[in-house]
Amino acid sequence: MNEISHREIYERLIAVEKKVDRVEENTAGMVKAFEAASGAFLVLDWLAKFAKPLIVIGTFIGGLIIAIQSFKVK
């Protein structure tokens, strides 16, 4: 039989812990990027909510200006 000693198990455990630590370090940057993107989408959502009424108001004012100009020409 191929017996595994406690020392070998311990060494494997240390190797696995190092790999897990490296994966955690590598993914930390990705997590920060996703959090930043989440914040950016929140700001874009606020801008969209603000822009919709401005577009309606701008369209109304533009229509009034065109109507006034068309009456002035006649």
What's the pTM? Answer: 0.43
Structure-derived torsion over alpha carbons of residues 22, 25, 29, 34, reported in degrees to the nearest 10: 90
Residue 73 clears pLDDT 70, i.e. is over it: no
pLDDT digits (tens, 9 = 90+) for 54-72: 999 999 999 999 999 888 8
Confidence bin at 38 (pLDDT 50/70/90): confident
Three-state secondary structure call for residue 3: coil
How far, in Å, CA of 16 to CA of 45, rounded? 42
**Which token pair is 32?**
């920060």
Backbone angles phi, psi at 4, to 5 degrees: -105, 130
